[in-house]
Chains A and B, each alone.
Chain A
Amino acid sequence: MRAVETRPPSSRRRATPAERPPAPRRRPGARARRLRPLVPYTLLAPALLVLAAILGFPLYRLLSLSFQQYGLKELFAGRGTFIGLRNYQDILTDPFFWTVVARTMVFAGVAVGLTMGLGTLVALLLRNLARPMRVLVTAGLVAAWAMPTLTAISIWQWMFDFEFGVVNWLLTRLGVDGFEQHNWFDQPLQGFTVIMIVVVWGALPFVAITLHAGLTQVPAELEEAARVDGAGAWQVFRHITLPVMKPIFLILATLSTIWDFKVFTQIWVLLNQRPSREYFLLGIWSYSESFGVTRYGKGAAIAVIMVILLLLVTSFYVRQMLRAVGP
């Protein structure tokens, strides 16, 4: 019912221009009418200027850097040498690049899947909980979400510490062998599992709370009708909840993809700011090329490639989204 209510306001808005002509109280002067189209732009101008300054300029610098030979000498002098597409050529012919791209894609894919899946489960749980428990779970989610990223990751790092970590201690206590003095990052697969846990843990609250808010918009009588018709829990979810919630799912999936594609802090902190190459994702690689070995031009080119890849991946979602919310 409530979902249906969202329609009228937009149709009413569309109706306004048609209503207007017969009811103009004050006829604006010719001059004012001529200036009128400029008003929105004037109002937008300050915001656009600020955006151009804080987003446009860095983007322009990033692009121009990526076409330059720009190392330490150039940094100190403040001027690079134009070398065309050489940075891009170097990167695309480096087999390590393809390894990192594949790793980043797989990592982001699994992370998005886990975040969305677990987030949906938590949201459904929230809906079915009695009020006191729901408040408790929501508070827990908000607390996890409100924790500053660095603090949270540092605590995760302590928990997985090889010598004093509570995880090793607990596993040893439970009688699992081989976790005394065990370093979780010795083998990349295990290391990435820990990183995945930390990333998903951090992303879950937002997804769960947003989905829960979305769930309250699903018309209860639709679900009820389906149930009366004999649909099971899964069928109700698949054929009623999911279609109604599609726009929200798409937005969340897009945002999660963007976040998980550029995971940086978690890896950087968990691996003591010196991750080995087995742990490089695109973001880490770009940073390490730029600020580690001072090849700023190449680092910028990696960043540009990363943005392009991200655009390609998210364009799929965006198209779906436009289709879902479109007329």
Chain B
Amino acid sequence: MSKSRRSRLTAILALAVALVLGVAACGDSGGDGDQSTAQSGPRTMTIWLMEGSAPPKVVDAVNAEWKKAHPNDTVKVELQQWNNITTKLDAAFAGSSPPDVVELGNTLVSKYAAAGALQDLTGSRGEFENNQAWLQSLTESCTMDGKLVCAPYLAGSRAVIYRKSMFAKAGITELPASLEELQAASEKLMATFGSDKRFSAFYFPGKYWYAALPFVWDHGGDIAVQDGGQWRGTLDSAEAQAGLTALKQLVDCCSRADKQGDELKQDQTFAQGHIAMIVANGWEKGVILDPKEGNPKLEKDLAAFPLPSRTSGQTAPVFLGGSDLGIAAKSKNQDLALDWVKLLAGTNFQTQMATVGGVIPNSTTLLDVHADDPYLSVFDATAKNSRFTPTSPNWANVEAANILPDMLVSIFTERASVADATKEASTRITETLNAGS
């Protein structure tokens, strides 16, 4: 009896000791991060790509090509969702074995580069195909204090995708060439189809800030300006407010999208047939026509036109989105990772990304692959009149704090006037951009 009690006590003590040691061991394992020398034996490399960036076909082809040079090693590609991606990236980079290659939205690169998460690729730049012809804005997003911290991957700029049949039925014969005409066309569409309670002429989810920026820029406003090293939020300027007021007018009359919603599912919603126009990237057509999630029958009915400016005959400046490929500074497979990135960023696969994926490729020399595609060339053209978010390492925090979506939701739901909502957003942007990092 006393023996069994003692052995139970011993077992408990042993368990406790094991637990405590286990915790200590966990705490310790963070320290050995600098064994970056190539190990022998087969290695496994992890790649994080964003949902919707590269078609599976292209990824498979890149992996196969890479495997030829590294027959013993394995590559694992994991698709990530855009929603709350920064939280996930923060945690991944904080660990001792982050993914070896990460696709980063071009507005997020400076945050991670400034914190030292990305490998310096300056010395390897010469090994990349087309590196002298890389799109300028992507190259800038990859440059930090004169160093190259990632490779340009793809760009995307938005235009309006619309249903030709709906325009015809509403009697719209000419595509809107000004903001005023866009408003008029939307109102006509609402008059024709509006009895369908789910119908939106100009579908605009409330948090879609990428698509709201063109209205701000077109009226002469901006998000923030830099003044002697200090940032100042400028969304409360008269110009920016005028742009947002014009957008609100369009949303009020002609969008029945969720005012709290975001654009992540807009293609699937568009495919259901109750929408005449969405603001979208070129590649989103593929999602709309997807046999599983979308509706392939719409193929012949889709076309695109650039978002018009308030000045007739011109287009509004659009946000140049895009992604870059970075290699984690803590990666133990630098050589493998670099080879993989060089493939996907190179001529062969960039051409495939452009033709199969419908994105804007990373180099000016590859831009002509869309030239005779009447649909995709619309998007390429808008990229020429494009703008970008403030180039501050703190910009990612403006995104993470949802400052722009909050402002838009307040405006559209009329929780706050345009003046009050923009004032608050500007104050927060000023604070966030100037915060010590």
Contacts of B94 in A (CB 8 A): 75-76
| In the complex, chain B residues 375-405 whose Cβ is within 8 Å of any chain A Cβ | 397, 400-402, 405
The answer, yes or no, to whether B198 is at the interface (CB within 8 Å) is yes
- Determine the interface band of chain B, counting residues with CB < 8 A from chain A: 35 or more
Known: A276-B402, A276-B409. A49 touches B87 (CB 8 A): no
Listed stretches B111-119, B291-299, B362-370; interface member: B111-119
Q: Are B16 and A278 in contact (CB under 8 A)?
A: no
Q: Are A76 and B20 in contact (CB under 8 A)?
A: no
Listed stretches A17-25, A112-120, A179-187; interface member: A179-187
Contacts of B331 in A (CB 8 A): none
Q: Are A46 and B30 in contact (CB under 8 A)?
A: no
Please name the residue on chain B nearest to A42 by beta carbon.
B9
Q: How many residues of A contact B (CB 8 A)?
A: 40
Listed stretches B133-141, B177-185, B258-266, B337-345; interface member: B258-266
The answer, yes or no, to whether A232 is at the interface (CB within 8 Å) is no
**In the bound complex, how far is the Cα of B86 from the Cα of A292, in angstroms?**
8
Q: Are A78 and B30 in contact (CB under 8 A)?
A: yes
| In the complex, chain A residues 235-287 whose Cβ is within 8 Å of any chain B Cβ | 271-274, 276-278
The answer, yes or no, to whether A201 is at the interface (CB within 8 Å) is no
Q: Are A180 and B197 in contact (CB under 8 A)?
A: yes
Please name the residue on chain B nearest to A77 by beta carbon.
B116
| In the complex, chain A residues 58-79 whose Cβ is within 8 Å of any chain B Cβ | 69, 71-73, 75-78
**In the bound complex, how far is the Cα of B256 from the Cα of A180, in angstroms?**
10
Contact with B along A179-216 (1 / 0, CB 8 A): 01101011110000000000000000000000000000
Contacts of B23 in A (CB 8 A): 53-54, 57
Contact with B along A102-133 (1 / 0, CB 8 A): 00000000000000000000000000000000
The answer, yes or no, to whether A162 is at the interface (CB within 8 Å) is yes
| In the complex, chain A residues 269-320 whose Cβ is within 8 Å of any chain B Cβ | 271-274, 276-278, 288, 291-295
Please name the residue on chain A nearest to B407 by beta carbon.
A276
Q: Are B20 and A292 in contact (CB under 8 A)?
A: no
**In the bound complex, how far is the Cα of B86 from the Cα of A295, in angstroms?**
13
- Least distance between A288 CB and chain B CB atoms (Å): 7
**In the bound complex, how far is the Cα of B197 from the Cα of A162, in angstroms?**
12
**In the bound complex, how far is the Cα of B425 from the Cα of A31, in angstroms?**
73
Given contacts A42-B9, A162-B258, A186-B413, 15 further A-B contacts (CB under 8 A): A50-B19, A53-B19, A73-B116, A75-B93, A181-B197, A186-B259, A187-B413, A272-B262, A274-B405, A276-B405, A277-B406, A292-B86, A293-B400, A293-B432, A295-B435
Residues of B bordering A, CB below 8 Å: 9, 12-13, 15-16, 19-20, 23, 30, 83-84, 86-87, 90, 93-94, 111-112, 114-117, 197-198, 207, 256, 258-262, 397, 400-402, 405-406, 409-410, 413, 415, 432, 435-437
